[in-house]
Structure 1
């Protein structure tokens, strides 16, 4: 039964998630209003015409000042929009339910959910799990924070379909009844402190991934991460640990340089050798372990899992090799949007590095990031809002080969001049992209375009 028909719903934020949610709600017969802080002239004219044809109330560049008059039953929040803005709080006080697109998708669609979260590795693990599921012959949608709105697929799913879903803390904090068959928590390190304020708040948002799971569901968790393990006391699902550092009594781990699964009957299954993986770095081994555990405990055979792991070549904008010019390699890690992600990138690169970093400030601390240079980083090219902040941290730690640049093109051209044959020019910003770009993908594409100009 359609419980949304005739409901008054405000959709906040007109990114991919918000647009998809508004379109789905209109199809379901809800009375929809939409809001975005951008002014009307900054919004796609075709989108505005679409909403007008549907008699949608549009608030572009102005906040709704008649919340009580709207009689809202529900507010659907886009992930990037803070929950504490005044008109949202007013809507909540007036009785509106505040949820997100992920929650709506779960309510209106069918299918089984795999939900994957963590500070880093979400996209790689989600994409890899999607590949394994598809290779196993399952009807699979790879959705969520990976770039495809969940609701754009949930509206057409069948009971036996799988939605392999990358979920961010922003998406999870607006869930209420969302319940995946299998959830996974890859790691927790400080991120989005401008929004969550404390690591505890951030971790609790991540923990919502398993809040509604039951004993017949599975929760895959990184046994090497103490912040993840702190959350287990509240988990009712069957806990499946994975580890790259220790032998486990149950779960997925490394044994004699093999990725193995040990099941409930203590039987050990070989998946593949660690050096069979094409994705570099210790963090990608963790991603592979998580993906293997998710897939095995969803009922996929070890041969299929092993074959898929050996074939997987990674995702765009995450340690993506972009070519070589005069012996200098270029690697695009634009998805390194926090210090810990970029630390993992530095650890994965062999040889000397000319590092391009900087961007939007999420109130991150860059001390550990600078410490991770370990004499591998020879020059630091900085751009964006955090350039001076990172520069000061580096200088305080004794690193002085720093170059402030006005844009990406200057970073690439000057970085290339500083590099020697055998070096790597690495874009791994340790920051979000929102000060200069609309998304990390746009930043990565610009980096690649700058490399292409060098080759000419």
Structure 2
């Protein structure tokens, strides 16, 4: 077979390694290839291709808009444009549990992997979550795949045995243009499922009438984690800090469903123990330190309203909330109630810090240094000084990191270093 890898990066490198393993002839095209990209394709013997050439297959990276002019041209020349999910599904039959949603899909994916492993299965996690899907598909007894709306745009026959939709809110309108298109991309996770598959969704979501899978629903904030028959697994209050009850309930239902499909008995005690020992995804609503009864919690990726609300709900009050960065149009009104209930003080930082902080009728302070690291250091110090009797300093920024940082991980690093610096002070 002959294919063009359109877009390298993390996903494209996974595609390149996989195509080499398949024995396909491949070329690549990327407007801004990174040194590690060029090193890999050279090592694999793949040459640079052209959007003016005909290929039977084009595997496009998630970061490339599905209506990109080059992809439209390649289609006109006869190419079938797909993504990594479709490529893996067409060439392997590894069972798949797929997870999508506006927020919580990473944490839910990790939990499902841990619960399946606790059930004795060789479950591997990949997809939108490192490593790429195609890097795990051959080694997994069951692949747990975190899936973005960008990846779902380019599926055709992809069919997970169990699909999970954690929730739906507003996001990526710069790419999808409308909320309807964004939600439509998310719902594609179930469009090829059949009656012996399972779809696990939050109870408030309206499932399309065309859905054929068995549907299981879970609450936004369950007080108890239960099996499908109602048997108790664990009180939500006993979950480790940072494990959201909704994610835990969705993970239990998904795990139980997959075990039913392969006719493997569920060990309730093993599931309960795995939940009790679960750890939050690094950097996602993670407590990085406790000092003088102050929890320092980082959730730098929380740039969507639903994710920020979840972080506020789970944090120990009183909260000093670090909010700012570059405005991406996140809705503020849904945060008003929880902010009034739990937030004592707001520290606004970066480009949108003043805009965000002033939107809430709460005491606040604005910090903007020329250097991003200095901004976060000052913000952490100012926040901690507002909590003489303890509480939580929470970085759940609402804004993107691109005003002062390379990405959200770079902002997370700055927060961790700022906390370390502060907690070492006399």
TM-score normalised to the size of structure 2? 0.89
**Pair 383,91 (structure 1): closer, same or farther in 2 beyond 3 Å:** farther
Report the CA distance between 1:168 and its aligned residue.
1.1
Question: Alpha carbons of 1:353 and 1:272: their partners in 2 closer, same or farther (altered >3 Å)?
Answer: closer
Partner deviation per Cα, 1:143-174 (whole Å, 9 max, x = no partner) = 112221000111444xxx10011111111111
Q: 1:371, 1:75 → 2: CA distance?
A: 48
Is 1:413 aligned to residue 378 of structure 2?
A: yes
For residue 297 of structure 1, give the secondary structure of its aligned residue in structure 2.
helix
Matches of 2:379 and 2:406, distance apart in 1: 24
Within 5 Å, give how 1:26-37 maps onto structure 2: 26-37=20-31
Q: Corresponding residue for 2:399?
A: 431
Query: Residue 180 of structure 1 corresponds to which residue in structure 2?
Result: 160
CA distance in 1, matches of 2:19, 2:402: 28
State the shift of 1:30 in Å: 2.8
Secondary structure of the residue aligned to 1:151 is: helix
* SS of aligned partner of 1:125: helix
Matched with 2:214 is: 238
What's the Cα RMSD here?
2.4
Cα distance change, pair 361–17 in 1 and its aligned pair in 2 (3 A):
farther
2: distance between equivalents of 1:429 and 1:205? 26
**Correspondence for 1:250:** none
Counterpart in the other structure of 2:42: 52
Q: SS in structure 2 opposite 1:8? A: strand
| Aligned equivalent of 1:16, options 10, 23, 39 | 10
Q: Contact conserved, 1:419 with 1:425, CA < 8 A, in 2?
A: no
Classify 1:81/1:369 alpha carbon distance in 2 versus 1 (closer, same or farther; 3 Å): farther
| 1:437–1:177 distance in 2 versus 1, CA, 3 Å | farther
Show the counterpart of 2:347: 381
Worse overlay, 97-106 or 373-382: 373-382
In 2, Cα distance between equivalents of 1:15 and 1:379:
40
Measure the CA separation in 1 of the matches of 2:297 and 2:99: 26
- Report deviation, 1:219: 0.6
User: Is residue 277 of structure 2 the alignment partner of residue 293 of structure 1?
Assistant: no
Q: Give the alignment of 1:248-267 within 5 angstroms.
A: 258-263=224-229
Partner of 1:338 in structure 2? 304
Q: C-alpha distance in 2, partners of 1:357/1:393?
A: 7
SS in 1 for 2:158: coil
Distance 1:134 1:436, change over 3 A: farther
Partner of 2:268: 302
- Number of the residue aligned with 1:249: none
Deviation at 1:28, TM superposition (A): 2.2
Q: Could you tell me whether the CA contact under 8 Å between 1:192 and 1:362 is conserved in 2?
A: no
**What's the secondary structure of 2:129's corresponding residue?**
coil
1:108–1:154 CA contact under 8 A, matched in 2? no
Q: Report the counterpart of residue 273 of structure 1 in structure 2.
A: 235
Which runs of 5 or more structure 2 residues have no equivalent in the other structure? 260-265
Match of 1:222 among 170, 185, 202: 202
Structure 1 residue 244: deviation in Å?
A: 5.4
Determine helix, strand or coil for the equivalent of 1:67. Answer: coil
Q: Is the 8 A contact 2:348 2:357 kept in 1?
A: no
**Cα separation, 1, equivalents of 2:71 and 2:29:** 11
- CA deviations on 1:119-149 (whole Å, 9 max, x unpaired) are 1111111111111111111011011122210
Distance 2:280 2:378 in 1: 26
- Flag the 1:156–1:277 CA change in 2: closer, same or farther, 3 A: closer
Deviation >4 Å, runs of 4+:
396-400, 434-439
* Whole-angstrom CA distance in 2 between matches of 1:88 and 1:363: 29
| Structure 1 alignment gaps of length 5 or more | 59-63, 246-253
Q: Secondary structure at the match of 2:272?
A: helix
Q: Kindly indicate whether residue 52 of structure 2 is the aligned counterpart of residue 92 of structure 1.
A: no
Q: Distance in 1 between matches of 2:242 and 2:46?
A: 48
Kindly tell me the number of residue pairs found equivalent between the two proteins.
413
Report SS of the residue matched to 1:298. helix
CA distance in 2, matches of 1:234, 1:136: 32
2:279 to 298, 303, 313: 313
**1:353 Cα shift?**
2.1
> Is 1:140 matched with 2:123?
yes
Distance of 1:411 and 1:321 partners within structure 2: 16
Deviation at 1:200, TM superposition (A): 1.2
Determine the C-alpha separation between the residues in 1 that align with 2:41 and 2:224: 54
C-alpha displacement of 1:216: 0.5
CA distance in 1, matches of 2:241, 2:185: 29
Normalising by structure 1, we get a TM-score of 0.83
Q: 1:327 to 1:270 in 2, by over 3 A?
A: closer
In structure 2, the CA distance between the partners of 1:175 and 1:436, relative to structure 1 (3 Å rule), is farther
